[in-house]
């Protein structure tokens, strides 16, 4: 019998307060001298990597200005660019998918300065909450919450070669002990990692090997990560993968799907034990960027320089692929 999740609308007074800010990105300023001369809109999953790149980029020279990294869901960032004619003056948009940069180039060409380019391949991960992690034991705790060794499901891989290989396709355990009773994903319509999670769960036939565990009905967004998601067999979705990760970290849910880049040991150290998550490397997400038009010509030049520094193509592509691998993204 096909197992399905119900779908939960996470609401409440706190949600209203956050919802009023949902179209505005959270921004971090990189650099210690000068003014902010370059603003970059970055999908939430790539925020830590973008900040790392910006730090090393500014050190070359060194440069006497600052960079502002603003992150949010790809849809929220795209809407901010389109609906306000890029009043935020983002000179570069690093999306978590290829569709939104392509849409900008096709339907809002005046806002763009060049064609889209692929800068990373993102890897979805299934991550246990701290409570779920502590409730089980063994050499690979996350796998305890998966049914493995069966002929249908989503193909999973271990997070480290020191751990046991994962047998055959996987599904989320909905019976026995331990079980995945509640699950967090990013809002599929806004966040590419949420869309990919829904496909892994079986929302559509984008992948023949899916879990077949997507419930019927609409998916709702919960903007308050502290809001409880307690009823059995529920999916709770959040505005972007950062708020989804916060819900998992706060043990609001049993587990959830986020980006490997968010739990990457390069950025988080030992915050996320290697056996607390499982990779879904066969379900990569092509992440594209696009240069945008801004009123300051110098900002356009700096954005182009930043793109070139990433060395996505050309002689430095091998170095960029090494960077991606070291920072928990798949090479191009």
Q: What is the pLDDT along the chain (332 residues), one digit of tens a residue?
A: 334 434 343 332 222 222 223 345 899 999 999 999 999 999 999 999 999 999 999 999 999 999 999 999 999 999 999 999 999 999 999 999 999 999 999 999 999 999 999 999 999 999 999 999 999 999 999 999 999 987 889 999 999 999 999 988 999 998 889 999 889 999 898 999 999 999 999 988 889 899 998 875 545 555 444 456 655 557 888 888 998 999 999 998 999 999 999 999 999 999 999 999 999 999 999 999 999 999 999 999 999 999 999 876 656 678 899 999 999 999 99
Neighbour-count burial of 178, counting CB atoms closer than 10 A to its CB (0-12 exposed, 13-18 middle, 19+ buried): middle
Indicate whether 331 belongs to any domain. no
pLDDT at position 231 is 54
Question: Could you tell me how far CA 133 lies from the centroid of its own chain?
Answer: 21
H-assigned helices in the chain: 13-19, 47-59, 74-83, 99-107, 130-134, 192-201, 241-249, 260-263, 265-268, 297-310, 317-326
Both 219 and 127 in a single domain?
A: yes
Residue 150 domain-assigned (yes or no): yes
Question: What pLDDT sits at residue 252?
Answer: 87
Are 47 and 108 found together in one domain? yes
Q: Are residues 128 and 268 in the same domain?
A: yes
How much is the pLDDT for 90?
98
- Residue 9: the pLDDT is 33
167: tokens are: 């047998």
Indicate the residue among 279, 298, 316 that finishes a domain. 279
Neighbours of 176 (CB within 10 A): 7
Residues 187 and 272 in one domain: yes
Burial string for 70-86 (b: 16+ CB within 10 Å, else e) reads bbbbbbbbbbbbeeeeb
Q: What per-residue confidence (pLDDT) applies to 314? A: 59
Q: How many CA atoms lie within 13 A of 242 on its CB side?
A: 16
Whether residue 45 lies inside any domain: the answer is yes
Number of independent structural domains in the chain:
2
State the pLDDT at residue 205. Answer: 83
- Upstream peptide bond of 293 is cis (omega within 30 degrees of 0): no
Q: Are residues 143 and 70 in the same domain?
A: no
Does one domain contain both 134 and 230?
yes
Q: Name residue, tokens 């070139």.
A: 308
pLDDT in tens, 294-326: 999 999 999 999 999 987 665 667 889 999 999
Residue 315: domain span: 23-121+286-326
Residue 312 lies in a domain: yes
3-state secondary structure of 185: strand
Q: Are residues 186 and 296 in the same domain?
A: no
Same domain, yes or no, for 315 and 263?
Answer: no
Burial class of residue 267, CB neighbours in 10 A (0-12, 13-18, 19+): middle
- 158: in domain: yes
Residue 152 and residue 12 share a domain: yes
Query: Do 34 and 88 sit in the same domain of this protein?
Result: yes
Considering the domain architecture, whether residues 312 and 263 belong to the same structural domain is answered as no
In a domain, 62, yes or no: yes
The angle at the Cα of 212, spanning 211 to 214, to the nearest 5 degrees, equals: 105
In a domain, 332, yes or no: no
Please report, for residues 83, 149, 158, 173, 199, the alpha-carbon distance to residue 166 in angstroms, rounded to integers and kept in the order given: 45, 8, 6, 15, 20
Residues 56 and 132 in one domain: no
In a domain, residue 256? The reply is yes
pLDDT value of position 222: 55
CATH number at residue 304: 3.40.190.10
């Amino acid at each position: 019998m096909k197992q399905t999740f119900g779908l939960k609308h996470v609401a409440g007074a706190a949600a209203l307060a956050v919802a009023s800010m949902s179209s505005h990105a959270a921004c971090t300023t990189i650099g210690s001298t000068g003014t902010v001369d370059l603003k970059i809109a970055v999908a939430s999953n790539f925020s830590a990597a973008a900040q790392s790149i910006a730090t090393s980029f500014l050190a070359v020279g060194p440069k006497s200005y600052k960079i502002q990294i603003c992150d949010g869901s790809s849809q929220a960032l795209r809407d901010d660019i389109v609906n306000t004619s890029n009043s935020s003056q983002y000179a570069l948009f690093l999306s978590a998918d290829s569709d939104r940069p392509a849409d900008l180039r096709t339907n809002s060409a005046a806002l763009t300065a060049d064609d889209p380019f692929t800068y990373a391949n993102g890897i979805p991960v299934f991550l246990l909450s701290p409570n779920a992690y502590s409730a089980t034991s063994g050499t690979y705790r996350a796998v305890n919450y998966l049914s493995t060794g069966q002929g249908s499901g989503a193909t999973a891989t271990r997070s480290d070669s020191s751990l046991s290989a994962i047998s055959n396709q996987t599904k989320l355990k909905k019976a026995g002990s331990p079980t995945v009773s509640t699950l967090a994903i990013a809002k599929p319509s806004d966040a590419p990692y949420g869309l990919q999670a829904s496909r892994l769960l079986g929302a559509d036939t984008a992948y023949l090997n899916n879990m077949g565990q997507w419930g019927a009905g609409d998916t709702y967004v919960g903007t308050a990560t502290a809001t409880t998601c307690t009823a059995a067999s529920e999916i709770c979705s959040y505005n972007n993968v950062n708020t989804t990760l916060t819900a998992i970290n706060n043990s609001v849910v049993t587990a959830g799907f986020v980006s490997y880049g968010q739990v990457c040991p390069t950025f988080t150290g030992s915050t996320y034990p290697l056996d607390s998550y499982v990779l879904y490397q066969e379900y990569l997400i092509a992440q594209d960027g696009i240069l945008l038009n801004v009123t300051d010509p110098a900002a356009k030049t700096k954005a182009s320089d930043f793109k070139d520094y990433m060395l996505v193509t050309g002689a430095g592509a091998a170095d960029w692929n090494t960077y991606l691998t070291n920072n928990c993204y798949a090479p191009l």
